[in-house]
Structure 1
Amino acid sequence: MTAMADDSPDMRLADAYQHCQQVTRSGESDRYLATLLAPPAAQPALFALYAFAHEVGRIRDVVKQPLAGEIRLQWWRDVVMGEGRGDVSGNPVAAALLDVIARYRLPQKVFLDLLDARTFDLYDDPMPSVASLEGYCGETSSVLLRLASLIIADGGDSGGGDAPGHGGVAFGVAGLLRSLPWSARLGQVFVPADLLARHGAGREDIVQGRDTPAVRAALADMRALAQSHYGAFRKTLAASPRAVRAAFLPVAVTPLYLHRMDRPDWRPFTEVVEPPQWRRQWRIWRASRGAWGR
């Protein structure tokens, strides 16, 4: 049998998937740890999905002007629609993502909605309301759980949208709270304006890193929102087919972050909340056995 040439399409695609695994491992550690407990056949596709999410989620970090970010988002829209300029295979994440979309017949619209939602990241406008925050997390976080369940189901029953909807909002809000040390310095305000106003705080309190009682009260409301969605997630999980619940394993770490941020000594603008990896692995492993915790 003739050995496969190193530059063959199959080999390049295999390398693209390997690259996605490394991107997920370095940039999306919770999703990486959870994917290790997913069905082996689905793991490469999940790594490609999460690598894509990581790449578009960090656009604000790597561009200096919103227009540059808009151009990058449009490039990804063209990729998803099959209209990418040039050789998309030159971008390993894009190449793997296109293969996953085709192989699992994933709906293009949900990717386009995610990219549209990420436009918010490029500007300094504050998150206007709690409802807007829930919608943002739904389109950037819940959608990944839904797509992961479709991948794991591989054409079978992936269940309804309640569990991924609530789980994604819980995971997403907790992630935004954890990212305060970075987002505030960039001028981004994900704390809803209605929560800030309720407690007598405003956008400048966040971007200036003012750790005041009013700001802490608004952040406590955000944690309560995340905890409420996590509770709803646990209740709706039973309605999801057991075979696809591995798609939701990243959500299992949410209480670890929320519990730390509930403590009075949490420093929201300077502390990176990062429980030890073994604790996160333990929570994910227990969830894989059906013990999700509170």
Structure 2
Amino acid sequence: MEHYERADDYYYRSIISQEKDLKNHLFNIMMNSGYLREDLKYCRQLLRLYMNDEYLANLLLSQSIQDNIVVLHAFHAGLMEAVNQIIEPMAGEIRLQWWSDVLNGKRNEEAAGHPLARSLLYLIKQQPVAVDQETIKTMLNTKIKAHVVEVHRQSMKSLSMLENWFVETHSSLFQLSAMMNGSKVNSELLNASRHSGIAQGLMRILINLARYRSMKRIFVPLDILNEYDLNTEDFLQSIDQRHEKLIIALIQLTTDHYKKALIEIRNLDRSSRKIFCILSLIPLYLRIFQESPRETLTGIQKFPLQFCRQWVLLLSFISW
């Protein structure tokens, strides 16, 4: 009996070893060849689920840059999935730490079996010499650490804290996308990325505000709440004029960063400007919020149809 148990144990360990070898072999092949078709399909599915506007905007990009940006945006979607599906903060921290370990080469065996992790590592490795791989890893690691705030459902104390958080989580995506498209890192790109990320982040708050309130999550900075005589409990309770004034203020803040971003984007070369075409949807959403600020808090307003969003994106892609 003991002999058979040893044989079964040896057979089991042999299968596990062969599986690891196969994953590593697949991983090494990919690192020297390119994205796997199924991996890109997985990344696009993540985008369609969590970042549909970005998914539509990416379809307009040339194939040479599209795959890279799809993977980069899918990484953001993967972090959102990791953060939104957890109940206990510790579980979220573990998931975020796993991604940090993948970037730092500590989880190669596990990364070899994960379609998004494989694609992300290839994305970093295949960048031209002009784009420093360590810079990319540093920016992505900073982004991962910033998402810990979401894991703990922490409220931002001030608007400046929220804006800095958007720079690390959203602006970095614009900057990295432009860098991978061959843009030089200068003040115009940094400023365009900064204001674009903040405008995009604020718009996401407005889009998801009703859902956040239902989950008892407060993304509006506490100093802005205080400015309209609201505390966290008031904000989550029944809606009155203070709430509506708050929404109007957030719309104006988003508009300000959107306009500043457009000024900086005009100074970029044409191919880089197309990376920022997603911003053309901001006025479309803000118009809806302006017409019905109360519905922004209840979640009963209707968002633009996909056809309308695609049309706006196409027009901006042609004219920018």
Same fold (TM over 0.5): yes
Aligned to 2:266: 238
Check conservation: 1:39, 1:152, Cα contact below 8 A: no
1:150-200: per-residue Cα shift (whole Å, max 9, x none)?
A: 1222xx536521111111111110011111122222222111111110110
1:72 maps onto 2:95 in alignment: yes
Per the TM alignment, residue 124 of structure 1 is displaced from its structure 2 partner at its CA by 3.1
23, 37, 41: which one pairs with 2:46?
23
Aligned to 2:77: 54
AA in 1 matched with 2:245: A
CA distance in 2, matches of 1:44, 1:205: 45
AA in 1 matched with 2:56: L
Aligned to 2:225: 196
Give the root-mean-square deviation of aligned CA atoms. 2.1
Check conservation: 1:127, 1:192, Cα contact below 8 A: yes
Per the TM alignment, residue 265 of structure 1 is displaced from its structure 2 partner at its CA by 5.8
Check conservation: 1:253, 1:284, Cα contact below 8 A: yes
Per the TM alignment, residue 70 of structure 1 is displaced from its structure 2 partner at its CA by 0.5
Identity of aligned residues (%): 26
Check conservation: 2:244, 2:294, Cα contact below 8 A: no
In the comparison of the two structures, how many residue pairs are matched? 283
**Which region of structure 1 is more displaced relative to structure 2, 47-56 or 211-220?**
211-220
CA distance in 1, matches of 2:302, 2:88: 29
Aligned to 2:170: 141
Check conservation: 2:54, 2:278, Cα contact below 8 A: yes
Per the TM alignment, residue 67 of structure 1 is displaced from its structure 2 partner at its CA by 0.5
CA distance in 2, matches of 1:122, 1:142: 20
Q: 1:123-202 residue pairs with structure 2 within 5 A?
A: 123-153=152-182, 157=184, 160-202=189-231
Per the TM alignment, residue 219 of structure 1 is displaced from its structure 2 partner at its CA by 2.2
Per the TM alignment, residue 250 of structure 1 is displaced from its structure 2 partner at its CA by 1.5
Q: TM-score, normalised by structure 1?
A: 0.89
Check conservation: 1:52, 1:93, Cα contact below 8 A: yes
CA distance in 1, matches of 2:293, 2:147: 32
Per the TM alignment, residue 220 of structure 1 is displaced from its structure 2 partner at its CA by 1.8
Per the TM alignment, residue 274 of structure 1 is displaced from its structure 2 partner at its CA by 2.2
Q: 1:227-266 residue pairs with structure 2 within 5 A?
A: 227-264=255-292, 266=294
Q: SS of the residue aligned with 2:259?
A: helix
1:26-80: per-residue Cα shift (whole Å, max 9, x none)?
A: 3211111111111211111111111110111233321110010011110011111
Counterparts in 2 of 1:243 and 1:191: CA distance versus 1, 3 Å: same
Q: TM-score, normalised by structure 2?
A: 0.82
Runs of 4+ residues over 6 Å off in structure 1: none
AA in 2 matched with 1:125: Q
Larger Rg: 2
Q: 1:276-287 residue pairs with structure 2 within 5 A?
A: 276-287=305-316
93, 105, 110: which one pairs with 2:139?
110
CA distance in 1, matches of 2:46, 2:228: 39
